[in-house]
Amino acid sequence: MSFFFSFFKTLIGKEIAVELKNDVALTGKLHSVDQYLNIKLTDVQVVDGDKFPQLQAMNNCFIRGSVVRYVQIAPSDVDTEMLQDAARQQNKETSKP
């Protein structure tokens, strides 16, 4: 879990899209994330505003990590070398006898 937490902390200030388990999809700037992968977004836009008009006025939101289905990140915001190094490091730590 700390692997994902560390990764998401590198995305603070970046634009992400979050799809929730209730089919609501939001885009916004990642403001913060905690160890439970709860997400706070700013500059929020609802992807399908016609389907969820009650959410149109929302500017900021807090999303409980347990209701997130997917998080989409721009490929340019992903440091693949850092991810590979972190995955190798975590694999070494978990495979020690």
Spatial separation of the C-alpha atoms in residues 81 and 97, rounded to whole Å: 27
Model confidence at 88, pLDDT cuts 50, 70, 90, reads confident
Which amino acid is located at 85 in the chain? Answer: D
The radius of gyration of the chain's CA atoms, rounded to the nearest angstrom, is 15
Spatial separation of the C-alpha atoms in residues 41 and 30, rounded to whole Å: 5
Whole-model pTM: value is 0.82
Q: What is the mean pLDDT of residues 46-61?
A: 89
Which pLDDT does position 97 carry in this prediction? Answer: 66
